[in-house]
Each structure stands twice: as structure tokens, then as C-alpha cells.
């Protein structure tokens, strides 16, 4: 179970020499940029939650806070009852986090990359081999295990990064835009892989700009706009609030309500 309540994070802004006439960002004041101001949502076992919002809304910062990569300034985040803010090292053991900015080690093979992170999690050699075999089969990358990461295609690199994220069988999975830049076949394999976590009863959160992925996979949706939760509920509730059966139009309707 993932429970996030009133999460907030700010960053000190560098001094600005030239003042512009553009409309000020509502998140900038008193020398701080409030990237996340008030975000709340939950994700139960077996649920997939889609985290949506315009560019710069605060989605990635929210996921980095939840994954313990950043420390929140306010609010609470519980992962299976463990307070992420108070016990980050304990919480990290049960989290699988894919960041859009974390690359692979290019000189290592695809399999060596995954095995390395398995060892960091203390997995014994026999279980690690079995888990790697399973993941490489599920992600349809068996023939690329011995290829160096810097020689892999974009899709194979992303599959490898996904395998590395979940090699330790985490109790919670967090994915930041996992299908960005992928071709149709690679994206489908990853979406099917995400869907498989429902049967495992593992809460999974992923951010995306592709609403057809949300419609296909998600049980619940959280929309962030200007660092605050603009919507948190089911797809049917989103359509009702957004005033349209079309998910794209409903999303725009919710964003415009808070503009």
C-alpha cells in the first residue's frame, strides 16, 4: 500500500539579475521554487496508478520524493506502513524505482547491469540467476543479455533498466515515464509487463503523457498541476469531472479548471 498525504518540496532559486515581464510562476516566491506544494494520493495492492500532469507540473519530483531519492520538506509518505520520510533506508529496500535520468553502465552487458543491482540488494547467486532468466524472458530480451549496454537500442536499454528496477522483487514499483521514446512493439512489451503486476498484488505507480496507456492499465489516476493535486480518483470520476467521455478532453478539462 502506498499512501501520500500533503507532500511538499521546495528548492532555493538562484538570484535573478534580469527581471522579465512574463507572468510569474505561482510556485516562485520568497526566493524559493515550490516544485511540489500539496500532493496526495494512494495506491492499493494490485492497483496501477497513473501519475499525470503537464510538463513541469511536479510529477518527477513527486516520484523522487516517494522513492527516497529526495527528502520532502512536509507531508507524509507511507510504503507498506513504513514512513519514507522517517525511515528512508528501510523503505528503499521494498521499492523498485525507475528514473528517467538514470543510465546503464555502458561497459557492462545487459545481464551484468541487472546482476550488479541484484547483488547490491543482497540476492544470493542462485536466486539472482533464476530471477534474471525470468525477467529476460518476460521482457523478450534473452538474446541481448551478453551485449554491452552502450550497444543496445533505446528499447533494449529501457527493458534492461526495467529489469534492473525489479530484480529484487520489490513490494512497490515506481516508474517515471517508462515508455518514452519506445517503438510500438517495445512499448507493448513494457505495458504488458506492467499489467502483470496486478496479479502479483504489487502497487505500481507510473507517470506518462500517453493517456491511451492510462486507459489500458490504470485503476486510478492522480493529476498534478502547478505542484498540487488537481484530481485523484478513478477513470470514470475523471471523465465526470472533466466533462467528457474522451480521456484526453477530460484531462484538459481538469487542468483548465485549475488554471
What pLDDT, on a 0 to 100 scale, did the predictor assign at position 180?
A: 84
Residue range 1-29: average pLDDT? 82
Angle at 162 between CA 156 and CA 164, to 5 degrees: 105
Among candidate residues 56, 4, 9, 7, the one with its CA nearest the CA of residue 172: 4
For residue 151, pLDDT over 70 is answered with: yes
| pLDDT digits 0-9 by tens, 107-139 | 999 999 999 999 999 999 999 999 999 999 999
Domain-wise residue ranges, the chain: 1-12+31-94+172-259, 103-169
What pLDDT, on a 0 to 100 scale, did the predictor assign at position 67?
A: 93
For residue 217, pLDDT over 60 is answered with: yes
Among candidate residues 2, 3, 27, 32, the one with its CA nearest the CA of residue 15: 32
For residue 19, pLDDT over 80 is answered with: no
Q: Output phi, psi for 176, to 5 deg.
A: -100, 105
- Lowest average pLDDT, out of 100-104, 183-187, 200-204, 251-255, goes to 100-104
- Over the chain, what is the mean pLDDT? 92
What pLDDT, on a 0 to 100 scale, did the predictor assign at position 181?
A: 82
Q: Output phi, psi for 249, to 5 deg.
A: -65, -35
What pLDDT, on a 0 to 100 scale, did the predictor assign at position 134?
A: 95
For residue 20, pLDDT over 90 is answered with: no
Cell, residue 209: 503523457
Q: Determine which helix (DSSP H) or strand (DSSP E) holds 6, and give its type and residue range.
A: strand 2-12
What pLDDT, on a 0 to 100 scale, did the predictor assign at position 18?
A: 59
* CATH tag, 1-12+31-94+172-259: 3.40.50.300
Residues 204 and 128: their CA atoms lie apart, in Å, by: 22
| pLDDT digits 0-9 by tens, 26-83 | 789 888 999 999 999 999 999 999 999 999 999 999 999 999 999 999 999 999 899 9
Residue range 86-109: average pLDDT? 90
Residue range 95-116: average pLDDT? 91
Question: Sorting pLDDT into bands at 50, 70 and 90, what band is 99?
Answer: confident
Tell me if 255 sits within 8 A of 243, measured CB to CB: no
Amino acid at each position: 500500500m502506498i499512501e501520500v498525504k500533503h507532500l511538499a518540496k521546495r528548492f532555493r532559486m538562484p538570484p535573478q539579475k534580469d527581471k522579465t515581464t512574463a507572468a510569474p510562476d505561482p510556485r516562485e516566491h520568497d526566493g524559493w521554487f515550490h516544485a511540489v506544494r500539496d500532493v496526495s494520493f494512494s495506491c492499493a495492492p494490485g492497483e496501477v496508478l497513473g501519475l499525470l500532469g503537464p510538463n513541469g507540473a511536479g510529477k518527477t519530483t513527486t516520484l523522487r520524493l516517494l522513492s527516497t531519492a529526495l527528502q520532502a520538506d512536509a507531508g507524509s509518505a507511507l510504503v507498506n506502513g513504513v514512513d519514507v520520510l522517517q525511515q528512508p533506508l528501510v523503505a528503499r529496500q521494498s521499492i523498485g524505482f525507475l528514473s528517467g535520468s538514470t543510465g546503464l553502465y555502458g561497459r557492462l552487458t545487459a545481464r551484468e547491469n541487472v546482476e550488479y543491482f541484484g547483488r547490491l540488494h543482497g540476492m544470493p547467486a542462485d536466486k539472482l540467476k533464476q530471477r534474471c532468466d525470468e525477467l529476460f524472458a518476460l521482457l523478450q530480451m534473452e538474446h541481448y543479455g551478453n551485449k554491452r549496454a552502450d550497444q543496445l537500442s533505446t528499447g533494449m536499454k529501457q527493458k534492461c533498466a526495467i529489469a534492473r528496477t525489479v530484480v529484487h522483487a520489490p513490494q512497490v514499483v515506481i516508474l517515471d515515464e517508462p515508455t518514452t521514446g519506445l517503438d510500438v512493439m517495445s512499448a507493448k512489451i513494457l505495458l504488458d509487463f506492467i499489467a502483470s503486476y496486478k496479479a502479483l498484488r504489487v502497487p505500481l505507480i507510473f507517470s506518462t503523457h500517453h493517456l491511451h496507456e492510462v486507459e489500458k492499465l490504470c485503476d486510478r489516476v492522480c493529476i498534478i498541476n502547478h505542484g498540487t493535486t488537481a484530481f485523484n480518483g478513478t477513470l470514470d470520476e475523471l471523465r465526470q469531472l472533466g466533462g467528457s467521455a474522451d480521456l484526453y478532453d477530460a484531462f484538459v478539462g481538469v487542468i483548465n479548471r485549475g488554471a
